[in-house]
């Protein structure tokens, strides 16, 4: 992967053991956004929207007037995931 020396990069392996595909990943929010758009140019607007939502969520978690515990957010997400899984299994 050809990135400037100032951009730290590494590869992420996704997939089953022995059949993984390697994907380039860069460190830094703006660098990551640019790399994703470079890899998936047809998805630029979705990537930008994702980054906006990520900024909003990070602001809610860390800059809110009332502190929000990250653990509470994780527990809520886990509860939602369990409910979705139960729903899926019941409707299958």
pLDDT exceeds 90 at position 42: yes
Q: Are residues 31 and 2 in the same domain?
A: yes
Same domain, residue pair 68 and 50? yes
Residues 50 and 86 in one domain: yes
Domain that holds residue 77: 44-92
Other Cβ atoms closer than 10 A to 58: 11
Strands (E), the chain: 9-14, 21-26
Is 49 in the same domain as 90?
yes
Residues 30 and 48 in one domain: no
pLDDT in the model for residue 33:
86
CA distance between the termini of the chain: 43
How many structural domains does the chain have?
2
- Whether residues 34 and 5 share a domain: the answer is yes
In the predicted model, is pLDDT for residue 9 greater than 70? yes
Cα dihedral 17→32→60→63 (10° resolution): 120
Maximum average pLDDT range among 14-28, 38-52, 54-68, 69-83:
38-52
State yes or no: pLDDT of 44 exceeds 90.
yes
């Amino acid at each position: 992967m050809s990135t400037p020396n100032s951009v730290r990069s590494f590869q992420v392996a996704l997939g089953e053991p022995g059949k993984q595909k390697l994907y380039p990943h860069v460190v830094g929010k703006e660098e990551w956004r640019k790399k994703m758009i470079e890899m998936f140019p047809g998805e630029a607007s979705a990537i930008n929207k994702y980054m906006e939502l990520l900024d909003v969520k990070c602001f809610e978690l860390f800059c809110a007037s009332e502190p929000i515990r990250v653990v509470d957010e994780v527990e809520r997400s886990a509860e939602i995931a369990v409910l979705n899984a139960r729903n899926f299994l019941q409707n299958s």
